[in-house]
Amino acid sequence: MKAYELMVIINPQVSDAEVNEIVEKTKKIITDEKAEVLAEDRLGRKKFYHQVGKHRDGYYFYLKVKADPSSIKTISRNLKLQQHVLRAMTLKAGLEPAKKA
């Protein structure tokens, strides 16, 4: 299993309760794929440099995940299919130190 970072931007027109629901749904998608959430950070609402669709801002949240590469493809696809998710990006986390034998 490898570490990955997920950044998700949610439509700014949804309520705080809906944001919490989307975050929990995202974490459920991750755990359903036999992956593990290592860290979570809700960054809040931020303005975009460029307009995305008809939106000038969005609600950001970050997740650090430990998963298999095949699971990450499924997780990314499911994130992009959610109705209120404007953008979702997955990156491989930094290199982990080599284990000494």
CB neighbours of 25 closer than 8 A, spacing ≥ 6? Answer: 82
Question: What per-residue confidence (pLDDT) applies to 100?
Answer: 59
Q: What percent of the chain has pLDDT over 90?
A: 47
| CATH number of the structural domain spanning residue 62 | 3.30.70.60
Do the domain assignments include residue 58? yes
For residue 96, pLDDT beyond 80: no
Whole-model pTM above 0.85?
no
Question: What per-residue confidence (pLDDT) applies to 10?
Answer: 92
Tens of pLDDT, residue by residue over 42-80, are: 999 998 888 888 889 999 999 999 999 889 999 889 988
Whether the CB-CB separation of 4 and 92 falls below 8 Å is answered with: yes
For residue 98, pLDDT beyond 60: no
Do the domain assignments include residue 72? yes
In this structure, what is the dihedral angle of CA atoms 52, 54, 60, 65, given to the nearest 10 degrees? -60
Tens of pLDDT, residue by residue over 2-38, are: 899 999 999 999 998 999 999 999 999 999 989 999 9
Q: Which domain holds residue 8?
A: 2-92
Q: Using CA atoms, how far apart are residues 51 and 9, in angstroms rounded to an integer? A: 13
What single-letter amino acid sits at 11? N
Question: What per-residue confidence (pLDDT) applies to 60?
Answer: 93
Do the domain assignments include residue 54? yes
Our count of domains for the chain comes to: 1
Do the domain assignments include residue 68? yes
